[in-house]
Amino acid sequence: MKVFYLNRTEDESGVSGTGRVAQGSIFDNGKVAVTWLSEHPTVTVYDNIGEVHAIHGHGGKTEVIMEPDFKKAFGELKSFVDNFSLCDVVLLKVPQEGAASKLLSKN
pLDDT tens digits in sequence order for the chain, 107 residues long:
899 999 998 777 767 777 899 999 999 999 999 999 988 889 999 999 999 999 888 788 889 999 888 888 888 888 988 888 887 887 788 787 777 777 777 65
What is the 3-state composition of the chain as percent helix, strand, coil, each rounded to the nearest 5? 35, 25, 35
Domain ranges of the chain: 2-67, 71-106
pTM: 0.62
SS3 43: strand
Nearest Cα neighbor of 33 from 2, 67, 77, 75 is 2
Q: Please, how many CA atoms are within 13 Å of residue 77, restricted to the half-sphere of its CB? A: 6
Whether 49 and 28 have beta carbons less than 8 Å apart is answered as no
